[in-house]
Amino acid sequence: MSKPYYITTAIDYTNAPPHIGHAYEKVLADVMTRFQRLNGREVYFLTGVDQHGQKVQKSAEKVGLSPQDFVNGVTQHFTALWEKLNVRFDGWAATTDPKHKRVVQAMLQKLHDCGQLYKASHTGFYSVRQEQFLTDKERGPDGQFGEEWGEVVELAEENWYFKLSEHVEWLKGYIRTHPDFIFPSHRANDVLNALEGKALDLCISRPIERLSWGIPLPFDEKFVNFVWFDALTNYISFAGYLAHECGNDDLPDFSKLWPADAEIIGKDILVPAHAVYWPIMLHALGFSDDQIPKLIVHGWWNVKGAKMSKSTGNVIDPSALADTFTPDGLRYYLMRDIATGYDADFSEERILNAYNKELGGGLGNLLNRTLKMANNYRSGVIKRGDFDDAMCESLRQATAEAEAAYPEKMESWSIHQGIEEAWKIVTAANGFIELTQPFKLAKDEAQSARLDAVLHHLAEAILHVAILLNPIMPVMSEKICDQLGWSLPSGFKLAELKWGILPDGHQLGEGVPLFPRVEIA
């Protein structure tokens, strides 16, 4: 038995409600989860929320709530969205969960005990307004710190440091010898470039008087843990790392689950957090090279070429889009209009087109026409018969070719190309109607066997499309199967997908439009 496919995503900051970028990442993970299951693999899918840190503490202060009440409220927006979009995870990683806190503290203690942490004093320029130390990077062309930093004072502060620099040579070697560590592989160069120059250690604490909303260091309670150290640990804490000694016995068996087969993150958090801090943390904790997780780095959704931001007012709300285009319509758009690893531009025109023309006009119309003809000419009963000709054969072949290509595209994160494969069947089936003209065959008794073959081929081809699109549009897929009078058996595997699923004499259902046209003024 191979180990379960362990898939996780970045955990979302709970200082603001989710936008379309958050939705994209979680849908991508959910699609991969459903695909792996369809392909016969056991899967564990973990996602969650990043609830500590300065951003949250400040946002809570602004609205006069305690940080915990504040994050509880924002977290609900995320969980409600995942429910709505049918993002179905097996584990929920919330960093204020006491189970997680215990593991973070045990991990910090372990690093402390093996001499990986030390206390030191740092003198530097500190922005009172932004509550952070500044470096030369923050200086303007005139050598001064700009107005955005407010009052800047020279300050000496004691903190705890992690001996990151000690492991940088190991990391460089690891990256060079493990081309599959980061997908897409060209991103590995960004990491190697960032590792050029003098390596510094990492400050992993914040004095409690400056930041109280975090996990206290177990060996020095005057400090809380730096939020990234806390957040990155979620990938192991909720997978059962140190579960026994932390009393987390209800979590998965770590030895069976780890390492993660896919940690899905956006390109902005690759360097330094996921590609430098994270593998080095694991290495320092004694994880071997084959225990380092794989990173899947996706691009960004922008709006008219610009970054989404509250101040520009161009933040796209995924929940409203799901109301307009159905949750599956939004999932389809988010998967078909981007190539994993690259950026995409959100466009209302494109989502409208994807929904009305591709889903409604292409797939929905094909299903509707087929069911209407089968119900009109044959009371919805499919006969297989033994009629065959080149047109039928060509539709079977197009289906077989698409099915052969689909798994490899999906497995390698080329979801948009996996969708294209399914679409080749839709196009072939629509072309098949034009060529065979079943409405004419129905008028000629002598063509009866041919009409039966045509209707059977159409229904069978649509069923195959529904199965291939199941990971992307689980609800619509089920509805299509339902209209075809068939239900996907639980545990159905792609390997069972062969021509001839619908038996002779099969009764099809009624056609009900699945993608009612959306009009936008």
Enumerate binding residues for ligand MSP (CB under 6 A).
Answer: 10-13, 21-22, 24-25, 50, 231-232, 234, 265-266, 268-269, 300-301, 308
Smaller CB distance to ligand MSP: residue 94 or 453?
Answer: 94
Q: How far is the CB of 305 from ligand MSP (least distance, A)?
A: 12
Q: How far is the CB of 28 from ligand MSP (least distance, A)?
A: 9
Q: Kindly give, in sequence order, each residue whose CB lies less than 8 Å from that of residue 304, ignoring residues fewer than 6 positions away.
A: 314, 345
Q: How far is the CB of 443 from ligand MSP (least distance, A)?
A: 54
Tokens of 50: 């990043």
Smaller CB distance to ligand MSP: residue 231 or 459?
Answer: 231
Q: How far is the CB of 399 from ligand MSP (least distance, A)?
A: 34
Select the residue whose beta carbon is closest to ligand MSP and give its number: 266
User: Within 10 A of 189 (CB to CB), how many other CB atoms are there?
Assistant: 11
* The one-letter amino acid at 500: G
Smaller CB distance to ligand MSP: residue 81 or 459?
Answer: 81
Question: In 3-state terms, what secondary structure has residue 207?
Answer: strand
Smaller CB distance to ligand MSP: residue 34 or 298?
Answer: 298
User: Within 10 A of 45 (CB to CB), how many other CB atoms are there?
Assistant: 24
Q: How far is the CB of 43 from ligand MSP (least distance, A)?
A: 20
Tokens of 232: 């990155």
Q: How far is the CB of 231 from ligand MSP (least distance, A)?
A: 4
Smaller CB distance to ligand MSP: residue 299 or 364?
Answer: 299
Return the C-alpha torsion angle 428, 434, 439, 445, nearest 10. Answer: -80
Give the Cα separation of 520 and 226 in Å (integer): 46
Phi, psi angle pair for 326, to nearest 5°: 70, 150
Q: How far is the CB of 494 from ligand MSP (least distance, A)?
A: 28
Rounded to whole angstroms, what are the CA distances from 322 to 144, 325, 348, 405, 473? 47, 5, 13, 30, 12
Q: How far is the CB of 75 from ligand MSP (least distance, A)?
A: 12
Smaller CB distance to ligand MSP: residue 13 or 238?
Answer: 13
Q: How far is the CB of 353 from ligand MSP (least distance, A)?
A: 21
Smaller CB distance to ligand MSP: residue 192 or 269?
Answer: 269
Q: How far is the CB of 91 from ligand MSP (least distance, A)?
A: 14
Say if residue 4 is preceded by a cis peptide, omega within 30 of 0: no
Smaller CB distance to ligand MSP: residue 171 or 481?
Answer: 171
Paired residues of 183 in beta bridges: 296
Question: According to DSSP H, which parts of 201-277 are helical?
Answer: 227-232, 234-237, 243-246, 254-257
Q: How far is the CB of 27 from ligand MSP (least distance, A)?
A: 11
299-325 b/e with 16+ CB inside 10 Å = b?
bbbebeeeebeeeeeebbebbebbeeb
Give the Cα separation of 330 and 472 in Å (integer): 10
Smaller CB distance to ligand MSP: residue 321 or 453?
Answer: 321
Question: Strand pairing of 132-134 and 117-127?
Answer: antiparallel
Question: According to DSSP H, which parts of 263-326 are helical?
Answer: 278-284, 318-325
Give the Cα separation of 77 and 65 in Å (integer): 17
Q: Kindly give, in sequence order, each residue whose CB lies less than 8 Å from that of residue 290, ignoring residues fewer than 6 positions away.
A: 259
Q: How many helices (H) and strands (E) does the chain have?
A: 20, 18
Whether residue 199 contacts residue 164, with contact meaning beta carbons closer than 8 Å, is answered with: yes
Q: How far is the CB of 69 from ligand MSP (least distance, A)?
A: 20
Tokens of 446: 């002598």
Which residue spans within 323-417 are E strands per DSSP?
A: 344-346, 381-382
Give the Cα separation of 258 and 242 in Å (integer): 12
Give the Cα separation of 78 and 69 in Å (integer): 15
Could you write out the DSSP letters of every residue in 254-271? Answer: HHHHPSPSEEEEEGGGII
Smaller CB distance to ligand MSP: residue 24 or 89?
Answer: 24
Nearest-Å Rg of the Cα atoms of the chain is 27
Q: How far is the CB of 294 from ligand MSP (least distance, A)?
A: 15
Smaller CB distance to ligand MSP: residue 26 or 283?
Answer: 26
